[in-house]
Structure 1
Amino acid sequence: MQAVQVQQGDGPVILAFPHVGTEVPPEVAARLNAEGRLLRDTDWYIHTLYANLIPGLTTVTATQSRYVIDLNRDPSGTSLYPGQTTTGLIPDTTFDNVPIWHQPPQAADVAHWLQAVHQPYHAALASEIARVRAKHGVAILYDCHSIRSQVPWLFPGTLPDLNIGTNTGTSCAPELQQAVSAIAAASGHTWVLNGRFKGGWTTRHYGRPEAQVHAIQMELSQISHLAAEEPPFALHPARTAHLRQTLTHILATLADLAPRLAH
């Protein structure tokens, strides 16, 4: 089983895709119920949305479903959002609080999939961060996510199209946060900075501006690029084209700013 796929680029920006995987090992699939086998909470087509937006991108892409193990969760199991509703390392439910297992995972399952999937993914990501930083003097990690626009169990109302997370400004240099926010504000999309999604474990763990590693999470509302937020989760061509223009502008700007941040 290959837990991660890496495509190396020669630029300063790394795209991480922890939740696009749809592979489920047979021993896990046999324990999921019908709802679980839909893989509803996948970040559908996000890697397609970002494909070839600018030259030189490095990509680190998960192959396994987040229902096997969630790669954007702290391996210790500590909640990212204490006091708020969220899902754990191996989710018990969908984001609508609907059970996904007829035979729920146990502590031994968490330990196994941490070793088999979580650790290899993050080892690959850390290796690419080190490689890019060695080449450019700086690495910019852009963590790519999506979620349905309305998920009452997790948040009230409708989510903005673009949800920028910088762990309240600590995971990247201020000029990067300002640049991405300015592009979002001028894009015609709704947006928010450090709203419901401030950045998951990836952003918080790797974002160390003082060490020339800058991390930003972008959580996209799925209605900004999907035809519908229900199966079969197909891309909407016009929405996708509009959003790709905005994402291209963001990534190109981050790449242009990178030399100023190198020490």
Structure 2
Amino acid sequence: MAEASSENSDFEVLEPVSQSVPLVFNSPHSGRRYPQGFLDGSRLDALGIRRSEDHYVDELFSVAPALGAPMLVAHFPRAWLDVNREPYELDPRMFDGPLPSFANIGSIRVAGGLGTIPRVVAENMEIYRHRLPVEAALERIETVYKPYHARLRQLVVRTHVAFGLAVLVDCHSMPGNIRVSGSGIRPDFIIGDRYGTSASGELSRVAMRLLEDMGFSVVRNKPYAGGFITEHYGRPAKGLHALQIEVNRGLYIDEATLVKRPDFAVMQTAISAFLQDFSDYVEEYAADRALAAE
């Protein structure tokens, strides 16, 4: 069973009745509540604006509270605000007025139109009709981005204090046409650990093996190694691990219409089974580390 926390209408924490495992789940890109003013100012139609969503990932991973782990879920859309970026990765070409001097205007993600306030959705589709007031960007960061990360940080710290270990699972989806460079492999899942810097390689390998044993094609770090969240929260040497999981959208939605495929529930059940096995492993992993420290 889960209890929904309603401290902020822009996001919520799905809490277990009692946290029993050192896991925290996060779904930062599955939000589907589009502010009307945002839609009115966009040059995209109702379908086009949704192209950057991690479609229904919150539902695919919804077993988390039943496993004894909290899950933070964004309700705001990624096209409006991307919390998997630094707080001030901003493109000055998008705004009327000067950005703060500390803004990161030169990152690769900003250059690609995918900063904290994105300029484009997938396939370089421009979002806005006109430039935005700088104040609009800063307001989103102050009132949504910062509270979101404060809540995520609190969940990770709480877990680490309680168990001596915290494993953050950052849940995402990827386009169905993704191929691994040089191999042509179309992965069903990608496990990202920032090339071993955000999580123990053992945790990554176990996640991959569990999925492969279920018949899925799985790769590690290519082409997605993890974003700001895994980089920022993962400190393996301190018992803070952050893994990114990307699910191929072609497995569960029609990517042209964004409608769930008939076997969506089958995919949801498969992910739930994987998470149960992974949760069991993380419990043992934490117990082994605790014994070794005694």
TM-score with structure 1 length normalisation?
Answer: 0.87
Say whether the 8 Å CA contact 1:36–1:100 is kept in structure 2: no
% identical aligned pairs: 25
Counterparts of residues 75-154 of structure 1 (less than 5 Å): 75-77=87-89, 85=112, 87-150=114-177
Question: Which digits, 9 at most, give the CA deviation of each residue in 1:96-124, with x for residues without a partner?
Answer: 11122223435333222111111111000
Q: Provide the residue aligned with 1:49 in structure 2.
A: 60
SS in structure 1 opposite 2:219?
A: strand
Aligned CA distance change for structure 1 residues 36 and 55 (closer, same or farther; 3 Å):
same
TM-aligned CA deviation for residue 82 of structure 1? 6.9
Aligned CA distance change for structure 1 residues 30 and 82 (closer, same or farther; 3 Å):
closer
Letter in 1 for 2:273: Q
Q: Provide the residue aligned with 2:39 in structure 1.
A: 29
Aligned mates of 1:238, 1:129 — CA distance in 2: 30
Aligned CA distance change for structure 1 residues 151 and 210 (closer, same or farther; 3 Å):
closer
Specify which of 74, 78, 89 is matched with residue 62 of structure 1: 74
Aligned mates of 1:80, 1:142 — CA distance in 2: 25
Say whether the 8 Å CA contact 1:3–1:116 is kept in structure 2: no
Off by >4 Å, runs of 4+ in structure 1: 78-86, 155-159
2:15 is aligned with 1:8 = yes
Specify which of 196, 199, 204 is matched with residue 172 of structure 1: 199
Unaligned 5+ residue runs, structure 1? none
Say whether the 8 Å CA contact 1:87–1:93 is kept in structure 2: yes
Counterparts of residues 218-257 of structure 1 (less than 5 Å): 218-226=245-253, 228-235=254-261, 236-257=264-285
TM-aligned CA deviation for residue 210 of structure 1? 1.9
Say whether the 8 Å CA contact 2:109–2:115 is kept in structure 1: no
Aligned mates of 1:16, 1:7 — CA distance in 2: 10
Say whether the 8 Å CA contact 1:40–1:94 is kept in structure 2: yes
SS in structure 2 opposite 1:131?
A: helix
Say whether the 8 Å CA contact 2:59–2:268 is kept in structure 1: no
Say whether the 8 Å CA contact 2:79–2:121 is kept in structure 1: no
Q: Which has the higher contact order (CA 8 A, sep 6+)?
A: 1
Question: Which digits, 9 at most, give the CA deviation of each residue in 1:189-218, with x for residues without a partner?
Answer: 111101111011100000011222110000
TM-aligned CA deviation for residue 69 of structure 1? 0.7
Q: Provide the residue aligned with 2:29 in structure 1.
A: 19
Unaligned 5+ residue runs, structure 2? 1-7, 90-103
Question: Which digits, 9 at most, give the CA deviation of each residue in 1:215-249, with x for residues without a partner?
Answer: 000011111222x1132431523343334433433
Letter in 2 for 1:26: Q
Aligned mates of 1:222, 1:65 — CA distance in 2: 17
TM-score with structure 2 length normalisation?
Answer: 0.79
TM-aligned CA deviation for residue 159 of structure 1? 4.3
Tell me which moved more, 88-97 or 10-19. Answer: 88-97
Aligned mates of 1:211, 1:100 — CA distance in 2: 40
